[in-house]
Amino acid sequence: MSRTQIPNEAYAPTGAWYVAALSSELSVGGIVARTVLDHPVALFRADSGQVFALEDRCPHRFAPLSSGVVKGDSVQCPYHGLEFDGTGACSRNPYGPVLRAATIRAYPVEERHRALWIWMGEQGQANPALIPDFGFLAEAPDTAFSAGYMHVAANYELIVDNIMDLTHTDYLHAGSIAGTGMVHKVKPFTSEFPDRIEVCWFAPDVPLSPFHSQIYSSLERADQLVRIEWYLPGIMKLTANFMPCGRPEEEAFSNTNAHFITPETKTSAHYFFAATRNYSREDIKLNAFIAESREKAFATEDKPIIELVQNRMGSGDFWKLKPLLLGVDEAAVRVRRRLEKATREEEAHATPRGSGF
Amino acid sequence: MSRTQIPNEAYAPTGAWYVAALSSELSVGGIVARTVLDHPVALFRADSGQVFALEDRCPHRFAPLSSGVVKGDSVQCPYHGLEFDGTGACSRNPYGPVLRAATIRAYPVEERHRALWIWMGEQGQANPALIPDFGFLAEAPDTAFSAGYMHVAANYELIVDNIMDLTHTDYLHAGSIAGTGMVHKVKPFTSEFPDRIEVCWFAPDVPLSPFHSQIYSSLERADQLVRIEWYLPGIMKLTANFMPCGRPEEEAFSNTNAHFITPETKTSAHYFFAATRNYSREDIKLNAFIAESREKAFATEDKPIIELVQNRMGSGDFWKLKPLLLGVDEAAVRVRRRLEKATREEEAHATPRGSGF
Amino acid sequence: MSRTQIPNEAYAPTGAWYVAALSSELSVGGIVARTVLDHPVALFRADSGQVFALEDRCPHRFAPLSSGVVKGDSVQCPYHGLEFDGTGACSRNPYGPVLRAATIRAYPVEERHRALWIWMGEQGQANPALIPDFGFLAEAPDTAFSAGYMHVAANYELIVDNIMDLTHTDYLHAGSIAGTGMVHKVKPFTSEFPDRIEVCWFAPDVPLSPFHSQIYSSLERADQLVRIEWYLPGIMKLTANFMPCGRPEEEAFSNTNAHFITPETKTSAHYFFAATRNYSREDIKLNAFIAESREKAFATEDKPIIELVQNRMGSGDFWKLKPLLLGVDEAAVRVRRRLEKATREEEAHATPRGSGF
């Protein structure tokens, strides 16, 4: 725990890899300030190209290092010039010898899949092998790749819920990025695996929405298949395939997207997303059209509703508010249970607070 | 109580008709989101023309129905498409049979006097006969009628106070809509009735203010009579009459206005107002002049002061702050006592909270 | 204590002179609303020219007097017209005889050194002789004087800290108003006196910064001497002298500045500053250049960092957050201890709260 933290009921596991930023947010010498699980973090890319994450508070006078500058492989505090390297150790003290005690917390960071992954739990337990394989993001050419970031004033689980139940696209996105408007007519199939939960919708022989007709001009009707894979805590892959009716998935116009959702506080989250596709991969205009349509829908349709849901829930706990769950909520509910289990188990194994007093 | 409510000391009676909106705010198919006594409410006008009020939170995933659309006599949730009719019953479930358990609270609504009245108490006790007669509003031609709405960041009683003591017009509105500036020189007469409290000021043979000279160009001096009628909880009629000196009230240039004040939260309120008159009733320019002058005075004179009063009171209770009351406060104090009595009596008769535990 | 105050741990002494405003903020008939130590205060300059400070809340209906108007030697409440003189006594009641009970708290005010000093403690203990001598401010001609005001969303001690350790200028102001960039290379000398704490930096034979080269065009290198004097609670004099190398202080280009820091709340402060100089005292362009450079640096460099420090400290107490202090913090730490002692001693001698119950 950072020294600023007030002990409180945990709302997410800390022993997990979260996406703290997109790789593209940090060029050499760049610094990003981002709060993750209530901890202010300064992410910086050193001259070596490596990215580090430090507690964003100088131990001297509590200034945010993220307002400073990168000096070689260290970051310099903007206020009085102390420097800290990527391990959190003081690497320069302008006023005398480097002080051993002047250390700050460093968070393990891994750069993978065009994203910066941060580990918020015990440092020794950070195992990069736990990062799910989203290699498709790095493999896509730039002309078939787009990514974005959105701040959402809502608990991260509400964003996960949003994606785990794609029937919302038939209503919330009816006038924008909805696929066929037929998702709510078919039954989803949910499967649990040790490392993930999958949910799948298959709508055969359905007419395309105006939006999708622009993209797949050769299709009038299609078999629509949507598959979502969720990994702890809010790492999600969404595949949306449109096949000529009756044809196998291999012939699909296929979109493989990533949704990375990271809690900022109990009631706010960082939402990173990225899209790739297997068709017209050199078409830069199409790429921009898809990116702009998605950004607009997310910003003007998903974000306002999810934030209003948080508003309507107030400080109430999801289960205590007794949601009236439907069959389509199965996948989202399984995810919530998995998240709750991971969070509670971690709390149970944690060193009791204040035990030394 | 809505499920989101945290039990707290009541600050207004719930068993009362409040104005939730002006009729003109809702055309067919329209929805208005408005919080009344801490309860988020979705008001919508069905295709039949009737207005309904529902708890503004879908029981499924807690999205605000007010962000949805009207479908016939129901409102459709914007998020996943559940529909609810005016009784609060689920009228359509896109994912299967309609669920009996999927009901939300419906609030009785009456449309009268160009306004939408909502009952926040026990549904069975809602008696439309309790709505005071403000028929003069509907009877006025459009060219002698104007209305408006203002959000005020203050407890609703501070706005009631403001109108119960019109001496403030001599100071706060000295440069704008003040009548004669002589209100503070005469003693008000207060009368209590079972259903209302009245207060009246009579200032004989006084010069008109520049503002009123523009309206009553035939008068140089006048007998000014102002009468206020207050009904529970914040329903007020204000009559301002200007008579040629010594002439009876029947010969007055008479303005009859309504002030409807509805608590949003303990420290914020909805303020609806409407004005009618018995002279120059076809004069559309005069109508606009009166409306604009009033809106400007309310927005730039009353609202800032009332909000600063709330600010200066902080979280302190009015009586505990020991106001230094003057004779002119008599009517306002009687209203405060009536409101407190109604609120306390209701609490006393309510089912004890948690009694089943 | 004003009636609005919630008892809380004191964060500053009340028995002290604070600067509430610059003299220039109040012309005859002018009113300024300013919260000092959580107390809303209305400062007004009467027709006589004298400045008074009253609790900014009418005892009648709690309207802020600062929204009213000055009438002779009184201020008139904007809401219902009660008037109060500089002693806090009601001087006019439009509705009847003046009420003896209608008094509000008056705060002792002294106008000195182009500033308005307010005493927030027991009225009988206000001794103007305790105001430090900042006579140099009034003595400077207008063409060698500039002053400003800035609101800072941080505890006042963080601003005092900022000035007590001028090494920050080498980093925070490196591209703007830094002197030589050499302050951090020399050891500061701290001295304690009964009424003040002084800290001094002497950097011999250093090159001038681009900013200072513009001001002292005759110098290429200089001996830089900076001296800060702190008086309770946040009254500070800063002298920055630039001497031709090896020459005595009497030959310096000398800047004598004032920094007056007044707590608004526990986490916000009023920051007044003023500058004078002993060279080019008729140069109105230079005067403006210095004022504008300082305002820009304060607003875009100091204010953001100090506010972020407050943000990073959260609600944590400075000492409990265990700052890693360096030698250069000596003066600031001594000031913090002096402030803490003054605050705690005052609490210890105060009438116990609630003792009469």
Of A56, A79, A93, the CB nearest to C305: A79
pLDDT in tens, B50-88: 999 999 999 999 999 999 999 999 999 999 999 999 999
pLDDT in tens, A301-326: 999 999 999 999 998 899 999 999 99
Q: CB distance B79–A172 less than 8 Å?
A: yes
Q: CB distance B165–C95 less than 8 Å?
A: no
pLDDT attached to residue C334 = 98
Q: CB distance C60–B325 less than 8 Å?
A: yes
Distance from CA of A202 to the nearest CA of B (A): 15
pLDDT attached to residue C99 = 85
Distance from CA of B108 to the nearest CA of C (A): 36
Of B4, B40, B99, the CB nearest to A324: B99
Chain B partners within 8 Å of C93 (Cβ)? 326
Percent helix, strand, coil in chain A, to 5, is 30, 30, 40
**pLDDT greater than 50 at residue B1:** no
Residues near C101 by Cβ (< 8 Å), separated by ≥ 6? B324
**Looking at the DSSP assignment, which residues form a beta bridge with residue A43?**
A32, A53
Q: Which residue has the higher pLDDT, A348 or B120?
A: B120
Residues near C216 by Cβ (< 8 Å), separated by ≥ 6? C208, C222, C242, C253
Gyration radius of chain B over CA positions? 22
List the single best residue of C166, C171, C186 to mutate versus A (max A Cβ within 10 A). C171
pLDDT in tens, C314-343: 988 999 999 999 999 999 999 999 999 999
What average pLDDT does the segment C227-240 reach? Answer: 98
> What token pair was written down for B217?
């160009």
Q: What is the pTM of this model?
A: 0.93
pLDDT in tens, B214-261: 999 899 999 999 999 999 999 999 999 999 999 999 999 999 999 999
pLDDT attached to residue C11 = 94
pLDDT attached to residue B352 = 52
Of A56, A62, A95, the CB nearest to C184: A95
pLDDT in tens, C176-221: 988 678 888 999 999 999 999 999 999 999 999 889 999 998 999 9
Q: Does the N-terminal peptide bond of residue A64 adopt cis geometry, omega within 30 degrees of 0?
A: no
Distance from CA of B266 to the nearest CA of C (A): 17
Instruction: Give the span between the Cα atoms of C308 and C330, in whole angstroms.
Output: 23
Chain A partners within 8 Å of B61 (Cβ)? 161, 309, 323, 329
Instruction: Give the span between the Cα atoms of A200 and A202, in whole angstroms.
Output: 7
pLDDT attached to residue B351 = 58
What average pLDDT does the segment B200-212 reach? Answer: 92
What average pLDDT does the segment B307-332 reach? Answer: 95
**Looking at the DSSP assignment, which residues form a beta bridge with residue A45?**
A51
Q: CB distance A314–B102 less than 8 Å?
A: no
Q: Where are the beta strands (DSSP E) in chain A?
A: 17-22, 31-36, 39-45, 51-55, 69-71, 74-76, 83-85, 90-92, 106-107, 109-112, 115-119, 145-152, 189-192, 197-207, 221-231, 235-243, 253-265, 268-277
Q: CB distance C171–A93 less than 8 Å?
A: no
What average pLDDT does the segment B21-28 reach? Answer: 98
Instruction: Give the span between the Cα atoms of C23 and C31, in whole angstroms.
Output: 12
Chain B residue with minimum CA distance to C102: B324
What average pLDDT does the segment C123-137 reach? Answer: 97
**pLDDT greater than 80 at residue C103:** yes
Q: Does the N-terminal peptide bond of residue B40 adopt cis geometry, omega within 30 degrees of 0?
A: no
Q: CB distance B78–A171 less than 8 Å?
A: yes
Listed as ranges, residues in chain A with pLDDT below 70 are: 1-8, 179, 351-357
List the single best residue of C74, C80, C90 to mutate versus B (max B Cβ within 10 A). C80
Could you tell me what percent of chain B has a pLDDT over 90?
Answer: 88
Q: Which of B336, B191, B264 is nearest to B37 (CA)?
A: B264
pLDDT attached to residue A4 = 38
Three-state DSSP state, B73: coil
List the single best residue of B62, B71, B76, B90 to mutate versus A (max A Cβ within 10 A). B62
Distance from CA of B119 to the nearest CA of A (A): 21
Instruction: Give the span between the Cα atoms of B236 and B256, in whole angstroms.
Output: 10
Q: CB distance B81–A321 less than 8 Å?
A: no
Q: CB distance A171–B95 less than 8 Å?
A: no
Q: CB distance B323–C59 less than 8 Å?
A: yes
CB B333 within 8 A of CB B325: yes
Chain C partners within 8 Å of A63 (Cβ)? 305, 308-309, 312
Q: CB distance B102–A324 less than 8 Å?
A: yes
> What token pair was written down for B194?
């079972």
pLDDT attached to residue B180 = 75
Rounded (10°) CA dihedral A321, A324, A329, A332: 10
Residues of A with CB under 8 A from a CB of C: 3-4, 40, 56-57, 59-64, 67, 76-81, 93-96, 99, 101-102
Three-state DSSP state, C169: helix
Chain A partners within 8 Å of B80 (Cβ)? 165, 167-168, 171, 184, 326, 328
Quote the mean pLDDT of chain B. Answer: 93
Residues of B with CB under 8 A from a CB of C: 161, 165, 167-168, 170-172, 184-185, 304-305, 308-309, 311-314, 316, 321-329
pLDDT attached to residue C352 = 52
Distance from CA of A64 to the nearest CA of C (A): 7
List the single best residue of B165, B167, B172, B183 to mutate versus C (max C Cβ within 10 A). B172
pLDDT attached to residue A178 = 83
pLDDT in tens, C12-56: 999 999 999 999 999 999 999 999 999 999 999 999 999 999 999
What average pLDDT does the segment B142-150 reach? Answer: 98
Q: CB distance A79–C172 less than 8 Å?
A: yes
> What token pair was written down for A272?
């990173």
pLDDT in tens, C63-86: 999 999 999 999 999 999 999 999
CA distances from C120 to B294, C20, C38 (A): 41, 10, 10
pLDDT attached to residue A349 = 81
pLDDT attached to residue A9 = 79
Distance from CA of B12 to the nearest CA of C (A): 20
CB A75 within 8 A of CB A50: no
Three-state DSSP state, B201: strand
Instruction: Give how far the C-alpha of residue B266 lies from the chain's centroid of Cα atoms, to the nearest Å.
Output: 15
Chains touching C, CB cut-off 8 Å, 3+ pairs: A, B
Residues of C with CB under 8 A from a CB of B: 3-4, 40, 56-57, 59-64, 67, 76-81, 93-96, 99, 101-102
Count other C-beta atoms under 10 Å from residue A225's C-beta.
Answer: 19
Instruction: Give the span between the Cα atoms of B330 and C164, in whole angstroms.
Output: 57
Residues near A48 by Cβ (< 8 Å), separated by ≥ 6? A73
B310 pLDDT tier (thresholds 50, 70, 90): very high
Q: CB distance C171–A62 less than 8 Å?
A: no
Of C62, C80, C94, the CB nearest to B321: C62
> What token pair was written down for A206?
């359905």
pLDDT attached to residue B34 = 98
